Structure 1
Amino acid sequence: MLDVNLKNQLQAYLEKITQPIEIVASIDDGDKSRELSELLNEIAALSDRITLIERRDDDERKPSFAINRPGQDLGIRFAAIPMGHEFTSLVLALLQAGGHPVKLDDDVIEQIKNLDGDYTFETYMSLSCQNCPEVVQSLNVLALLNPRIRQVTIDGALFQNEVEERQIMAVPTVYLNGEVFGQGRMGVAEFLAKLDSGASKRDAEKLSAKEPYDVLIVGGGPAGAASAVYAARKGVRTGVVAERFGGQVLDTLAIENFISVKETEGPKFAAALEEHVKAYDVDIMNVQRAEALVPGSKLIEVKLANGGTLKSKSVILSTGARWREVNVPGEREYRNHGVAYCPHCDGPLFKGKRVSVIGGGNSGVEAAIDLAGIVQHVTLLEFAPELRADAILQRKLYSLPNVTVVTQAQTTEITGDGQKVNGISYKDRQSGEQHHIELEGVFVQIGLVPNTEWLKGTIALSKHGEIEVDARGQTSIPGVFAAGDVTTVPYKQIVIAAGDGAKAALSAFDYLIRSSVETDEPATVAVPA
């Protein structure tokens, strides 16, 4: 299964194992069990510290395998053949079980070890999901560090009977002790925030006790990361508070238009952003949601959802945007039960089924093309008289035999049976006729909406809810700047957001210099020589 290059790379990684580990496989006579056995035998052959044990007489899911130490059950299991995006999760689990250190701060490790309770996690994922590996890897770490935590990673496409029984129509979906715990991308910090009831209060106290910043950046996407780097390079006290570092980039599969980077994936790009920011003296406060902006004559306050408050002499808002909703009956009722926003993540769960894509721009057409290779049939609905996607994408779309394109289609309702989607209704804008299509999934791809609800009534916003900025990134509030997809700057692209972030940081620095002179206060800005 593994080609020569991949084997060589894996063997180099496995040399970092310092203690013996056992892979205990649960298999039967099926084709998938033979495929898993082949993979695990190839891995075991690459290291004399790995022993493979195959069992057919247990009650575990088949095929699946556990990663243990001799005489010690680590609580880590894969009910999957973890290739694709999950191959990294497999390699990390092997390394960490084999003694390679976990890359977490000591206080976080101690917090995991001190979690009180018995936790059994089941994580449903798809091998094409770019958001799933972080969830899988985070829960594997929790299981490794706390013997009362167990985690099994389940490939929804491999165990479709479970997916159908539990009506799982979005990944990653995490169950805890048999009940739905969460859906979507989550990391160690997010899990701890939900499991450790006292963590929120402790975080609020720590955050409120921090000294004021010179530049505080709200948001950790490309704009926020660029702002942080440029501000820190000026030698000013810089902080970044973000709900999730990386922002919407984490939900992006392929990035092929960031200049100098020919191609990469969203999560990999987000990790590079964070690594770059951490190379400087920047205080990163992750998994923190801003709820209010309070302007002041000397200090600006940012109030957080957990009750904490941060203060700064200047603020850069880079909270980005999220997928726009259709806002029709049934959309919210059936979200994650047939209504989805990520075709790469959730597409495999609709294998052989009928789906619709709403939106004829690049993202909608790309989604339809990707889904056509998995599902039985795709109906693409576009509001306008013609598609807006690039010509090359349209040519590919129209060449596919199992895709129907309907233009001038106004979606009016997403229907369901009370548990999951069973159809979509639309009006022909030209004739006025109503139509209904029976299907099992709806993928919404109609653009973005800025994350500015928390700023309404505080700062000047456009009719679309975007933060109004001038050529320097200045907002309607002195000392408050904004950058990226959350602003009125046209063309929501990563490269533009990064440039705007750098510009906002330079403008904030200039503001700090000028305001310190105007108020006759000694400047706290230390300009590097």
Structure 2
Amino acid sequence: MLDAGLKAQLKGYLENLRTPIELIASIDDSAKSRELVELLNDIVAASDKVSLKTDGADARKPSFAIVRPGSDISVTFAGLPMGHEFTSLVLALLQVGGHPPRVEADVIEQVKALEIDDELRFETYFSLTCQNCPDVVQALNLMSVLNPKIKHVAIDGALFQAEVEARQIMAVPTVLLNGEAFSQGRMGLEEILAKIDTGAHQREAAKINAKSEFDVLVVGGGPAGASAAIYAARKGIRTGIVAERFGGQVLDTMAIENFISVSHTEGPKLAASLEQHVKEYDVDIMNLQRATALVPAALPGGLTEIKLASGASVKARTVILSTGARWRQMGVPGEEEYRNKGVAYCPHCDGPLFKGKRVAVIGGGNSGVEAAIDLAGIVAQVTLLEFAPELRADAVLQRKLFSLPNVTVIVNAATTEVHGDGAKVTALSYKDRIHDIDHRIELEGIFVQIGLLPNTEWLKGTIALSPRGEIEINARGETSVPGVFAAGDATTVPYKQIVIAMGEGSKAALSAFDHLIRVTAPADIAA
């Protein structure tokens, strides 16, 4: 099952097991069950602390539990956790086996201290190509190891298609709690905790309100924000980051092949590296905090205030806005109603759930054409709709697209409505812009790939924005408000690229520092 390289890596990892663990497999005579047994035997062969039983009674087959004998600690996988989930498997083996997790001590204590009356039974549906799923799977696995009243099973949605259809799972990761919908999309451990521990928001808001002012406050934790924080912290000044989710849009990016000096990486890996780099400096990271208002300094050199959705507020001598962007929506009837019920924005994540079905891709740029190419290998039929008279994707992508037998391309198509039966998408309507004729396509899925919108609505009326809603900046990253700078995809800088955002974030930090030493006299800056 595992090649020689993975077996060697696994053997090295499992040397960190502190206590014996037992694998209990529930199998039948299917090919997938045979593959699972082969995988589990490879794990057993990698450590003398691992044993295997194949008499499990789980109704889902194939599945297996990782159990710490003599305790109620266990983690369950339904399916074969390979692909993006192989790391989740390794971490689960280590954590059930007593290896300490790399998580802040106060977060671990928060999980252990949760007051739970009845058992919390989580189920997470994932796909092996989903880069967002491992964060959710790993967080819930760890919680089930730390707190005996929490149980978790991670389910490969592509393998259990009947279950997915019966429960109307149309996007991954989807999490159920005690059989009811709990969440969809990427969530980290702290985000899940915030949903379960209802007093966490108030406690965190109180901690933030008690903080003294910063010299530089960065709003946003993507590539631009991380770079700005590192450059500011290296100046020896008091630096903080407020982020709704650290990593930003990069977390939703599958393959990154144009990041100079790194031939290939994936968004979540890059985001984790960014966070780790920031944590090497004295930066106060305030994660899961959404900014709602900016109050400019009353006097030159005064303090700018950032108000947060939690009710807290933070003040700083300079502010760097790096709030990034999000997927642009079609803005047609039915889109919001059927979001995650057939309307999707991540073909890599959700594509496997539409195996053998008919789907549409909206958008003829690189993202749309790449999505159509990827989906064509999974689904029965792909219809790509482009508003303009021709596709905008690179020529090499277009050649590949038009070579595929199960792809239809329609240009001059204006999407007008998403149709459904109340539970899932059933069709899509569009207008032929040349002949002014309405058409309807019967299908099961719609993947929207029409660009990004800047996250700047909260700044309207406070700071100068372009007609597209981007923050207007000059060559130094300065905005229309003195002491407030901006960087990255939320600004008017052209070409929304990771490497450009990082450079812009660094430049904004240098400009903020220059502003500090010329306009104010922060106590933290050495004379």
- 363, 368, 390: which one aligns with 1:386: 390
C-alpha spacing 1:478/1:398, structure 2 compared with 1 (3 Å) = same
Q: In the alignment, is residue 359 of structure 1 matched against residue 363 of structure 2? A: yes
CA deviation string 1:288-314 (max 9, x = no partner)? 111111111311111111111111100
> Which secondary structure state, in structure 1, belongs to the residue aligned with residue 10 of structure 2?
helix
- Match of 1:191, as an amino acid? I
Aligned to 1:88: 87
CA deviation string 1:66-98 (max 9, x = no partner)? 111112232410002000000000000001111
Q: Equivalents in 2 of 1:181, 1:42: separation in Å?
A: 34
> Which secondary structure state, in structure 2, belongs to the residue aligned with residue 224 of structure 1?
helix
- Match of 2:347, as an amino acid? P
Contact 2:472 2:491 in 1 (8 A): yes
Aligned to 2:60: 61
Aligned to 1:12: 12
Aligned to 2:265: 264
Contact 1:75 1:149 in 2 (8 A): no
Aligned to 1:236: 237
> Which secondary structure state, in structure 1, belongs to the residue aligned with residue 315 of structure 2?
strand
Q: Equivalents in 2 of 1:85, 1:107: separation in Å?
A: 28
Aligned to 2:78: 79
CA deviation string 1:98-152 (max 9, x = no partner)? 1111112221111101112221100000010000000000000100000000000
Q: Equivalents in 1 of 2:422, 2:195: separation in Å?
A: 28
C-alpha spacing 1:522/1:256, structure 2 compared with 1 (3 Å) = closer
CA deviation string 1:375-404 (max 9, x = no partner)? 000000000011000111001000100000
Q: In the alignment, is residue 426 of structure 1 matched against residue 445 of structure 2? A: no
- 499, 506, 509: which one aligns with 2:503: 499
Q: Equivalents in 2 of 1:54, 1:213: separation in Å?
A: 58
Contact 1:234 1:526 in 2 (8 A): no
Moved more, 108-117 or 312-321: 108-117
Shift of 1:50: 0.3
Q: In the alignment, is residue 207 of structure 1 matched against residue 191 of structure 2? A: no
Contact 1:428 1:435 in 2 (8 A): yes
Q: Equivalents in 2 of 1:33, 1:4: separation in Å?
A: 22
- 322, 326, 342: which one aligns with 2:330: 326
Aligned to 2:455: 451
Shift of 1:17: 0.8
- Match of 1:319, as an amino acid? T
- Match of 1:44, as an amino acid? V
TM-score, normalization by structure 1: 0.97
Q: Equivalents in 2 of 1:524, 1:171: separation in Å?
A: 46
Q: In the alignment, is residue 525 of structure 1 matched against residue 517 of structure 2? A: no
Alignment of 1:208-357 (within 5 A): 208-296=209-297, 297=299, 298-357=302-361
Contact 2:75 2:96 in 1 (8 A): no
Aligned length: 522
TM-score, normalization by structure 2: 0.98
Shift of 1:523: 5.0
- Match of 1:4, as an amino acid? A
Shift of 1:59: 4.0
- Match of 2:440, as an amino acid? H
Aligned to 2:51: 51
Shift of 1:475: 0.6
Unaligned runs of 5+ in 1: none
Q: Equivalents in 1 of 2:39, 2:71: separation in Å?
A: 23
Q: Equivalents in 2 of 1:301, 1:9: separation in Å?
A: 49
C-alpha spacing 1:44/1:412, structure 2 compared with 1 (3 Å) = same
Aligned to 1:398: 402
Contact 2:464 2:471 in 1 (8 A): yes
Q: Equivalents in 2 of 1:176, 1:455: separation in Å?
A: 36
> Which secondary structure state, in structure 2, belongs to the residue aligned with residue 72 of structure 1?
coil
Moved more, 288-297 or 354-363: 288-297
Aligned to 2:445: 441
**RMSD of aligned residue pairs (Cα, Å):** 1.0
Aligned to 2:185: 184
Q: Equivalents in 1 of 2:449, 2:109: separation in Å?
A: 42
Aligned to 2:139: 138
- Match of 2:96, as an amino acid? A
C-alpha spacing 1:25/1:142, structure 2 compared with 1 (3 Å) = same
Contact 1:408 1:429 in 2 (8 A): yes
Contact 2:215 2:522 in 1 (8 A): no
- Match of 1:342, as an amino acid? C
Q: Equivalents in 2 of 1:126, 1:522: separation in Å?
A: 50
> Which secondary structure state, in structure 1, belongs to the residue aligned with residue 142 of structure 2?
helix
> Which secondary structure state, in structure 2, belongs to the residue aligned with residue 55 of structure 1?
coil
> Which secondary structure state, in structure 1, belongs to the residue aligned with residue 353 of structure 2?
helix
> Which secondary structure state, in structure 2, belongs to the residue aligned with residue 379 of structure 1?
strand
- Match of 1:97, as an amino acid? V
- Match of 2:99, as an amino acid? H
Contact 1:357 1:367 in 2 (8 A): yes
C-alpha spacing 1:352/1:522, structure 2 compared with 1 (3 Å) = closer
Identity across matched positions, percent: 71
- Match of 2:92, as an amino acid? A
Contact 1:222 1:494 in 2 (8 A): yes
Unaligned runs of 5+ in 2: none
Moved more, 439-448 or 35-44: 35-44
Q: Equivalents in 2 of 1:400, 1:27: separation in Å?
A: 37
Shift of 1:522: 6.2
CA deviation string 1:264-298 (max 9, x = no partner)? 00000111111111111111111111111111131
Which segments of structure 1 move beyond 2 Å, counting only runs of 4 or more? Answer: 521-524
- Match of 1:171, as an amino acid? V
- Match of 2:293, as an amino acid? A
Contact 1:25 1:54 in 2 (8 A): yes
- Match of 1:320, as an amino acid? G
Q: Equivalents in 1 of 2:393, 2:148: separation in Å?
A: 51
Shift of 1:426: 0.7
Q: Equivalents in 2 of 1:494, 1:417: separation in Å?
A: 40
Q: Equivalents in 1 of 2:406, 2:138: separation in Å?
A: 36
Moved more, 7-16 or 370-379: 7-16
Contact 2:321 2:486 in 1 (8 A): yes
